[in-house]
Amino acid sequence: MSYDTRGTGFTEAHDRPISLPTLIDDLVSVLDAFEVERCVIAGESMGGLVALHAAATHPDRIEAVITSGSPPAVDLATAAPRAAAARADYPAVVRPFVTACLNDVPDGSLQRWGEALFHGATGESAARLLEALVGHPAPLAAVTQPVLVLHGTADIVVPRAAADVLVSGLANAELVLLEGAGHAPMVTRPADVASEIESWLARRA
């Protein structure tokens, strides 16, 4: 089961606030709507950061977490210029970012699809989503659930060192490096990702 984050895809933001507590509340609301009492959640990139916060604040609902290409924090120095650029000319930001995310697919076959995916958001909502995570580093010490940290060795959007920070700060984490994968292995290497998740879940059973 998956859903569109507030301000992306079919989930509109309008003038409602986008904040970390709101994003966590949205996640829990989806679980409530589908009557899911407890589950394993997965998040890619910044979604993994939100997932870790949700695990820390709702340990009764989150059994385990899977992150993929996720940073341990979003700093203002990085977020501010990116947010400003998104507001000024979102299409000009999307194209190179998608190229960077899909650098492990050099033939460009997924480029158009990736751009269409990001254009499910507006420049304003994309900026607000990024800004919502500034000042909210992953609460690593508060996450006691098992965490699978997936990271592509060819990720140029979030460096490999980010995965090391997550694993070193979490009480019960396992790092799996996906050789040659970029920032979006759930898209570019779905079979590999599924295999690693299934193996991890089996080891925990």
| DSSP one-letter code for 142 | G
Is residue 199, in this structure, part of any structural domain at all? Answer: yes
Is residue 62, in this structure, part of any structural domain at all? Answer: yes
pLDDT at 7 over 90: no
Q: What are the tens digits of pLDDT across the range 127-184?
A: 999 999 999 999 999 999 999 999 999 999 999 999 999 999 999 999 999 999 999 9
Is residue 167, in this structure, part of any structural domain at all? Answer: yes
Is residue 116, in this structure, part of any structural domain at all? Answer: no
pLDDT at 10 over 80: no
The confidence score (pLDDT) of residue 8 equals: 79
Is residue 7, in this structure, part of any structural domain at all? Answer: no
Beta 147-152 vs 39-44: how paired, if at all? unpaired
Q: What are the tens digits of pLDDT across the range 88-138?
A: 999 999 999 999 999 999 999 999 999 998 988 899 999 999 999 999 999
Average pLDDT value for residue range 188-204: 95
CATH of the domain at 29: 3.40.50.1820
Is residue 165, in this structure, part of any structural domain at all? Answer: yes
The confidence score (pLDDT) of residue 21 equals: 94
Confidence of residue 197 (pLDDT cuts 50, 70, 90): very high
Is residue 105, in this structure, part of any structural domain at all? Answer: no
Tell me which residue of 128, 93, 97, 130 sits closest to 114, measured CA to CA.
97
156: domain range?
20-74+134-204
CA quadruple 26, 31, 32, 37: dihedral positive or negative?
negative
Is residue 98, in this structure, part of any structural domain at all? Answer: no
Residues 6+ apart with CB under 8 A from 187: 102, 110, 114
Residue bearing the bigger pLDDT, 12 or 185? 185
CA-CA-CA-CA torsion for 147, 153, 156, 157, nearest 10 degrees?
-10
Q: What are the tens digits of pLDDT across the range 25-79?
A: 999 999 999 999 999 999 999 999 999 999 999 999 999 999 999 999 999 999 9
The confidence score (pLDDT) of residue 13 equals: 63
| Number of structural domains in the chain | 1
C-alpha distance across the termini of the chain, in Å: 21
